[in-house]
Structure 1
């Protein structure tokens, strides 16, 4: 429906890349949406299969076969990959002759060229290249396809543990996005990672992943939106996926329950993924309950809302399982304790699970427990402290969790903890206090602290040990969510004491009810690596700290700060000598001598319903305010009267959104606003309502 509405009556050019679906009925709904486009629209489909082109309805005259690469094009790709680290001209020439002979065996296929280039990049001896050229693999009958030889050579070059990790990927459907961290945890569950001494398994897994990527066995990397370096997800090339299945035979199987016949035999499978839409007519395949040698079972989460499976049979019989990912079950039976080899249990986003049995805590080998998004799960098992090998506890988005069971401090191997729920004054005999986090020295990534506000959560008055977050330098994201049922004084004390580590890059404070955020001399301004800051629904907070002094802040969101009436120069972080002169020139603009918000790119104000004034400021000595600001949104701020000159004169601002802010709309909109010329240089402007969008607006 959205596609239909977006292109109706318009001329469009649609590219469908790398299509494999052959069934004509799968295309009928899509074509129905596309027929509403204007005459002259075009669709380009890329595929490796002629049958796909025919199923789509392409005529033979419209099929454009892609020619193989020329020898020179192949050499260009190969040399960029294999010889890029060889700067010496003589060394380059020495390898060029044998390199051209090697790419001659690739038969013009770019994937083969890239794979061999990746294989030979770090082989520094000419003899190693010669062995590749003379390998007996080129004599195999299957090599006439041009790709099996290079892939086999690359695969054989891997050490045994990496071969296992690569072959395990055959369990995923073709064209799947593979989550890197999840993949590493699944490798851990199968004991594929060979750890020496005090090495961290997750670090070894990262090294394995990078090695496979360097061999061109992964591609289409999706990287972190913040630093652009860390890989979040990736894919396997379709042919590489076929190659992995070719090597695993039936050991790794992915079965679609909607297919008329299950083509792959499962009786030899060790790793199995069940796909498709289960229903009364298409139940979960019962033969799976008899596959007692299964080591991995995965069921995509989209099946949850169709039909559940018999959990008692699953957990009673498949006792060799090391990983269970996403089974749609209504209840976890006590029989789960029989799965003594289980290391990975993912139950996330399951709406039926209301409790976890205490028997689950007998799984002494469990490394990963994922219950994220299980909205009806009220609490974790009381004996969770017995899971001493647990490394990853994903329990985010459990808004109704009442408390954290006693014994959390025993989980000293934890690397990931989604959220920790404060005790709300409950007896220490019943639950874990925040100071339990002190024992979890390896915590990393993201952490959410919920229901904050009770001073006793920090430790008893006679307790020398207080909660310590500063030492957890691997944490990069922290969410502090306060409880409105506690006293405002408690909010201030807790926020003052919860000092995050200086490594923090992202911070959110929600529902804090103090009248001020901690002062400038306190911990917030020590977060010199902070890139994203969100203050949300802090209704009683009247003024803000000197956020302009945060050197790396890129995104700032202020939402629901309904007690803020004025953003003064303290918000920018005016130099102390300028503040001292404030009494002498109260009516004049202050002068800023330091760059304020030097890296800020996105500034968002939401529901600032009582905000009236945004102070201006003179700029001295070439210093600037928000020199990189690109996106400014002001939504539901009806009392704000004007924008400061340093915003109006910004040359970097690319996008300005003013929604439901009557004074700003009347002042700046294109038709009637007297000060429209002051913002007309901004490429993308949007007012609503009322007020038309400006030329070039969103």
Structure 2
């Protein structure tokens, strides 16, 4: 409590201190050391900067301090992407190997950088936004800018947002305007803001990152940056990379993500033997991968690699993946161009022991329109190709998108799936012909996030999908045990299973209940009319958030006793919500037939949105929230505001109101 009192009731201070304490052992001695740390009384900080953030900062290692301060260069309001900042830290030389590890210096860098990234999240110095991105609180950003003021300048909207104009400045973030020495960020239209900008004077620049704008004219001077490690040209109008890019001997990272005007990769790129990152995500599909690309054996991240074949069909670009044994992240596009499973096998995906992230994409736009006419032979090839693209056991994140086979591969079935002991995120998206979910997913021991999006051919989900399973051990006898399905799943997102009507899932005992760790569930666009007893029952204690959208047949939501936040959106047949004893906040949008809202004794906040209703729903007098937010028709709004309508009596017991109206053609979301 002494540490909490020192936080003066400020939520951010409590979060930062909680993050710091989470890195310490739970002993009185350790916590006393934090309480008595000299940073509580540090002098020299401006009064608006928080000493509790300084305490957490001081507790970082020297490498982590540099990484943390670097994050303040990203413009306010933008995300700090994992895939972007880690190569930048490496390029700046912030990442040093652990002396107690057996692997080489070079092999450790991405792994160590990822550890630092996670440490900053744990300490709440950066805040997670989804799986792959973070942001920095304004107060934390101000602190970081102050600490880094002698080396970094951030310029936004022609104003210096942080840092100093001192000659020691080594890093500059322009968003929009100015110059730097070792790191240069530009998030603006260069032509209008820096008309005379040339790269020739940046002789020791290590990191160049330009997002958006007209920078094609700068391509000719890029090769003057002899010390450049990181070249990022995202969403720009560049049409080419320098033909003599092989002269940039120190270049380790090239990111041209979203630069759709890029016509081709220079043949000389295969000479960049130190290249660790090549991110081509979102490029023109006609960009061709040069032969002998497989010589870039130092690659760790390869994004947007488009599969294509020679005109004579004798060479497939997948061959170039085979020697890239150090890959940690790989995205393959254009897999519909693979004409035989033997070509997919040549990539040897399953043998890449360091691979943690794999994304496999097919383009099935033509197939979506002619789904009934897809030749069985074509589907068979697609199924065989995916079978040969089996990820290695170490895989953490797997995304399959656009696959138009009828069945998912054998390595997703019961026995084989057990091999993926580290898989924590699985997304299956845009599967137009798949009729059945694989049974093996329930055995994945580390799976936390499962997204199934746009699988319109699935009509039912059988009990085998979430069935508990038996395991046995032989050794002096046989020991049998029953294990719960999806033992660590926390987030489940099911969207666009348009024909899905049945979910067979009987209630299970507490010890074998499937998805017992589930915290957040979202279901959208399907034909379910109710939820199975195996999902909705009083034995489920972890589920906190439930979001239901565009469920046209849903009639009731009942017995989700642990849910504290419920959102129901566009459920035209929904009549009843009950038995949600811990519900704290509910949002109801365009559910005109809802008649019953009961069994919600601790409800604190209700949001009701429907621009067509003429009267307040009859269930409002039956609940006792503290706050009501109402968005309704102008007629109902005016009636309530006047105070003379009988409708006012339905909400007179609610302490606080926020009542607004929408025009008839508005679509509140």
The worse-fitting range, judged by mean Cα deviation, of 509-518 and 484-493 is: 484-493
What is the CA RMSD across the aligned residues, in angstroms? 5.3
CA distance in 2, matches of 1:262, 1:88: 39
In our comparison, the structure showing a higher alpha carbon Rg is 1
Per the TM alignment, residue 459 of structure 1 is displaced from its structure 2 partner at its CA by: 4.7
Pair 1:561-2:561 in alignment: no
Match of 2:241 in 1: 356
The structural deviation recorded for 1:625 is 3.0
Q: Residue 242 in 1 paired to residue 130 in 2? A: no
Match status 1:595 vs 2:480: no
Change (3 A) 1:396 1:170: closer
Q: 1:624 to 1:186 in 2, by over 3 A?
A: closer
Q: Confirm or deny that 1:453 pairs with 2:330.
A: no
> For each residue in 1:260-308, what CA deviation from the matched residue of structure 2 results, as whole angstroms up to 9, or x when unmatched?
99996577755433333xxxxxxx66xx5xx8xx3332212xx249847
Mapped pair 1:482 → 2:366? no
- Change in Cα spacing, 1:433 to 1:273, as seen in structure 2 (3 Å) is same
Q: CA deviation at 1:413?
A: 1.3
Query: Which of residues 313, 318, 328 in structure 2 aligns to 1:434?
Result: 318
Equivalent residue number for residue 338 of structure 1:
224
Aligned with 1:499: secondary structure? coil
Contact 2:309–2:316 (CA<8 Å) still a contact in 1? no
1:280 is matched with which residue? none
Tell me which of 431, 436, 446 is aligned to 1:552.
446
The residue number in structure 2 matching 1:470 is: 350
Which secondary structure does the structure 2 equivalent of 1:603 belong to?
strand
Aligned 1:262-411 pairs, distance under 5 A: 269-276=169-176, 294-300=181-187, 303-304=188-189, 307=192, 314-326=198-210, 328-331=213-216, 332-350=218-236, 352-398=237-283, 400-411=285-296
- Offset, 1:500: 0.7
Aligned match of 1:206? 113
Is structure 2 residue 550 aligned with structure 1 residue 660? Answer: yes
Query: Does the residue aligned with 1:202 lie in a helix, a strand or coil?
Result: helix
- Residue 314 of structure 1 aligns to a residue whose secondary structure is coil
The 2-side partners of 1:262 and 1:623 are apart by 55
| TM-aligned CA deviation for residue 562 of structure 1 | 2.0
Q: Deviations over 1:456-513 (max 9, x none)?
A: 575559xxx7222223343333222123369212210111111112222332222212
Change (3 A) 1:529 1:678: farther
**Higher normalized helix content (fraction of residues):** 1
Which TM-score applies when normalising by structure 2?
0.64
Provide, for residues 398-456 of structure 1, a one-character-per-residue CA deviation record: whole Å limited to 9, x for no partner.
36354433232111111222222111565578x76223223222222x43221113445
State how far apart, in whole Å, the 2-side matches of 1:266 and 1:104 are.
Answer: 28
Gaps of 5+ in 2: 1-5, 10-16, 368-377, 472-480, 559-567, 598-602, 608-669
Pair 1:536 & 2:429 matched: yes
2:126 corresponds to which of 214, 221, 238: 221
State the alpha-carbon separation in 2 of the partners of residues 117 and 576 from structure 1: 46
Counterpart-to-counterpart distance in 2, 1:239 and 1:187:
20
Report what 1:417 is aligned to. 302
Query: Could you say what secondary structure the match of 2:456 adopts?
Result: coil
Partner Cα separation in structure 2 for residue 184 and residue 170 of structure 1: 14
Determine if the alignment matches structure 1 residue 511 to structure 2 residue 402: yes
Deviation at residue 385 of structure 1 after TM alignment: 1.2
Gaps of 5+ in 1: 1-65, 70-76, 122-153, 277-283, 578-591
| Structure 1 residues 519-548: Cα deviation after superposition (integer angstroms, max 9, x where no partner) | 425744532333332222211112221133
Which residue does the alignment assign to 1:61?
none
Whether the 8 Å contact between 1:532 and 1:553 is mirrored in structure 2 is yes
Question: What's the CA shift for 1:372?
Answer: 1.8
**Contact between 1:454 and 1:494, CA under 8 Å: does it hold in 2?**
no
Q: 1:423 aligns to what SS in structure 2?
A: coil
Q: 1:441 to 1:686 in 2, by over 3 A?
A: farther
**Bigger proportion of residues as strand:** 2
3-state SS of paired residue (1:220): coil
Return the TM-score normalized by structure 1: 0.62
Q: Cα gap change, 1:671/1:371 in structure 2, threshold over 3 Å: closer, same or farther?
A: closer
Query: Could you tell me whether the CA contact under 8 Å between 1:358 and 1:382 is conserved in 2?
Result: yes
Change in 2 beyond 3 A, CA 1:225/1:677 = closer
Secondary structure in 1 aligned to 2:223? helix
**Distance (whole Å) between structure 2 residues aligned to residue 265 and residue 675 of structure 1:** 64
CA distance in 2, matches of 1:678, 1:116: 47
Give the match for residue 589 of structure 1.
Answer: none
Cα distance in 1 for partners of 2:288, 2:269 equals: 13
